[in-house]
Amino acid sequence: MVGDLRDLRFEARGRAADARPRPPSPVHGWWIAGLALLSALVLVAVLLRGPMGERLWPQARVHTLTGEAAQALARGHLTAADGSGARELYEAAMAIDPDRVEPRAGLARVAEAALAQAASAEQQGRFEQAHANLRLARQLSIPRGRADAVAERLRRREAAVAGLDGLVSRAEAARLAGRLHGDDESALPLYARVLELDPGRPDALRGREDALSALLEQARRDLRAGDIAAAATAIAAARRYDAGHVDLPDTQARFTEELDALRRRADADLTRGRIDEAVATWQRLQRYDPTDAAAAEGLRRAARAFAVRAQRLAADFHFDEAEAALAKARALAPDGAAATSAQVAVDRARRRLAQLQAAGNGPDPARRVPELLRQAADAEARGDLLTPPGESAYDRLRAAQAIAPRDADVRRAVARLLPSARDCFERHLSANDLARARRCLDARDALGDEAGALGQARGRLAQRWLAIGDERLAGGQLGPARTALDTARSLDPSSPGLGEFERRLRTASAPAE
């Protein structure tokens, strides 16, 4: 029994001893430390191969690039768009360390190699490659004399191979056929190829001179025909082939004069009320030069003129024509205030016509005519010639005309009212009440006044508006001056002084430099 208990305690102590941690083996510890060091070395290697390594040890990167560049140079791989050429690798090394001698010396060796390759390609008849290598040598600052010597040998060999006599013959045939420029087989490009290979060749120089003279003559014909774009293209081509040609300054001067003449013509058309013609000219100028500020301003003025025309047509109840004029104004200036204001006037004229027509509607509209004539006479006796709207003598007569335009009594009433409308115009014009004078003038027009008398009255009123505009301009009130000008133009597009006043207004409105 006692022996068994002793054995049990002995086993328990053995198990406890086995459960205590044992000290690590020396071999096991070295293995863990080695693994950690290896991981650290791998991480450092990765970092040194990337941007961080280049920032920490840039000289290592310069050394690598220089070595790769030397290898590319040894293979004859001098330049490449993907950066693998000797030139690009040396330049990358210089970008990291501009003071390093090796990359700069390497670029000099690339230049020498490029010149050598150019000479070799020239001897083998590979002209395109020779030109490319020669350009590279020049870009890398090879001495000019050495590069020029290779270039001269290249030019002579190309001339011999190309057959310059044949090129000159083809150029001459193209010139005589009128094919002066536009493709590689036209006269001027062919002459240019000959003169590039043999700059002093007399027949090519004479042929190019004749071709350029013919081209500039064609440009002048295009100008006379109004084809600005074609003339501009011809002049630009002539300048490209020989900027010192004797006919070029005169043709360029004529081109500038034609542009100025077109601008003046557009201004004159707008002043005379030929708005569509003015717009067509300004749009031609814009097609040639989209940045032409004068053409852009001209189109804005044309938009305002169309808007004024729309208002005048609406006042005479010609709504189809008014809407057409409004559409043109919006097309030229979609956000213009003039078109918006004109639309309001057109809508107001529509409502007024609806009121007049409503006054004539009923079971028997013809019975309304005598009553309307009586009301017109009463309004005229009161002096209500044009106002108030809908109750004036003028409005009552218009309503009667809408119902019975051929009625004899209506015609007599209109004829009787016309002198009153003329007197109304003169009275308000003398008082310088130009807005009421304009309404009286519109009444004269609607009542059928003769065209000559109306024209004279419009001209007088237009001159008054110009005088108002001159006063506003002198006072620095550019907006009211512009309104006065537009009103004068709507009354009489050919009124004297319109163009001169508009030029003054444009000058005053131009931003100070």
Task: Choose the CATH number for 252-360 among 2.30.30, 1.25.40, 1.10.357, 1.10.3470.
Answer: 1.25.40
Q: Whole-prediction pTM value?
A: 0.44
Tokens describing residue 261? 């003449």
Q: Give me the residue label for tokens 């390594």.
A: 53
Rg (CA), the chain: 46
Query: How many Å separate Cα 404 from the centre of its chain?
Result: 56
pLDDT of residue 54: 46
Domain ranges of the chain: 52-161, 164-246, 252-360
- Containing H/E element for 128? helix 127-139
Tokens describing residue 178? 């009128």
Query: Three-state SS string across 82-102, please?
Result: CCCCHHHHHHHHHHHCCCCHH
- Tallying the residues shown for the chain, one arrives at 513
> CA torsion sign, 273 to 276 to 277 to 281?
positive
Q: CA–CA distance from 269 to each of 153, 223, 304, 332 (Å)?
A: 63, 20, 14, 17
> What is the full per-residue pLDDT of the chain (513 aa) written as tens digits?
444 445 544 454 544 445 455 555 554 555 565 555 655 555 555 444 545 444 445 678 888 989 999 999 999 999 998 999 999 999 988 888 888 889 999 999 999 999 999 999 888 888 788 889 989 999 998 999 999 888 878 777 766 666 677 778 888 888 888 888 877 677 888 888 888 777 888 888 888 888 888 888 888 888 777 777 788 888 888 888 888 888 888 888 888 788 888 888 888 888 777 889 989 888 888 887 788 888 888 888 888 888 888 877 776 667 888 889 889 988 888 877 778 877 887 887 777 667 656 655 554 566 677 878 888 888 777 777 667 766 777 777 777 767 776 678 877 877 777 888 888 889 889 998 988 888 888 878 777 677 678 788 888 999 999 999 989 888 888 888 888 888 888 888 778 888 888 888 888 876 644
CB 383 within 8 A of CB 421: no
Q: Using CA atoms, how far apart are residues 50 and 59, in angstroms rounded to an integer?
A: 14
Residue of 447, 441, 405, 396 lying closest to 423 (CA atoms): 441
pLDDT of residue 265: 85
CB 470 within 8 A of CB 501: yes
Q: DSSP secondary structure string, 404-470? A: -TT-HHHHHHHHHHHHHHHHHHHHHHHTT-HHHHHHHHHHHHHTT--HHHHHHHHHHHHHHHHHHHH
CB 255 within 8 A of CB 232: yes
